[in-house]
Amino acid sequence: MRSATMPPVDPRSKSALAVHRRHVLSAGVSTAAVSMLTRPAASQVPEAQRDPRDPLRLSFHINDRDFHAALDPRTTLLDALREHFALTGTKKGCDHGQCGACTVLIDGRRVLSCLTLAATVENARVTTIEGLANGDGTLHPMQQAFVDHDAFQCGYCTPGQIMSAVACVHEGHAQNDVQIREFMSGNLCRCAAYPNIVAAVKQAAPLMKET
Ligand code: FES
Ligand code: FES
């Protein structure tokens, strides 16, 4: 007569492994959940004991306005602008420092915001494409020149192009076509609007000196 009890499970069998996996996963999940619920806020923990991934409370001065946020220390300036401060004019192209779409000004100097940690610009003056026009809506001479010369097609690279062009003029690198091409070469345009971009920079440069 056959026994009614379950036969012993071979610990190397598939069913034994599945039970073991389920146990490990559920134990892992509940441990992580408890850990998240009981983890104190960064501000309550002595500095020496802080987890380097704990959010930092940071303040920023962007386009003459103050912004505050608690950010993961690894947050880039580009992600802070777009995802935390709703300043989506600055574009994410490659996210690897290769296309220039994310260019913004830090204390007047152009930087790639995808390669800049937000925490490093806490006390700096950040200018994005949203901060270029006057308060009354009058476009910056460089913005107007891009419109006048139709210096874009899809427009995705345009905010980065304009921010870079503003800095290019301030650096004194917009004296002629060759110089403009050279010092704007970090800003790629897949639509190849380059001749019109050069024409726009040439139009705006003298007007910027007057303002
Ligand atoms: S998105 Fe920053 S360089 Fe391309
Ligand atoms: S206008 Fe389309 S990428 Fe430059």
Q: How many helices (H) and strands (E) does the chain have?
A: 6, 5
- Tell me the ligand closest to 158's alpha carbon: 2
- Tell me the ligand closest to 156's alpha carbon: 2
What is the average per-residue pLDDT within 172-177? 97
Whether 157 is in the pocket of ligand 2, judged by its Cβ within 6 Å, is yes
Whether 78 is in the pocket of ligand 2, judged by its Cβ within 6 Å, is no
Instruction: Please report which confidence band the pLDDT of residue 211 belongs to, taking 50, 70 and 90 as the band edges.
Output: low
Q: CA nearest 86: which of 62, 53, 109? A: 62
Tell the residue number behind the tokens 């940071």, with chain if given.
58
Choose the residue to mutate in 149, 150, 153 for probing ligand 2, maximizing ligand atoms within 8 Å of C-beta.
Answer: 153
Which pLDDT tens digit goes with each residue over 138-162? 999 999 999 999 999 999 999 999 9
Choose the residue to mutate in 94, 117, 157, 187 for probing ligand 1, maximizing ligand atoms within 8 Å of C-beta.
Answer: 94
Q: What is the distance in A from the centroid of ligand 1 to the CA of 157? A: 10
Q: Write down the pTM of the prediction.
A: 0.78
Q: Are 106 and 121 in contact (CB under 8 A)?
A: yes
| Phi then psi dihedrals of residue 93, to 5 deg | -100, -80
pLDDT given for residue 42 in this prediction? 52
Instruction: Please report which confidence band the pLDDT of residue 50 belongs to, taking 50, 70 and 90 as the band edges.
Output: confident
pLDDT given for residue 53 in this prediction? 81
- Tell me the ligand closest to 153's alpha carbon: 2
C-alpha dist (Å) from residue 185 to 44, 103, 140, 201, 202:
47, 13, 22, 13, 15
Choose the residue to mutate in 99, 147, 158, 163 for probing ligand 2, maximizing ligand atoms within 8 Å of C-beta.
Answer: 158
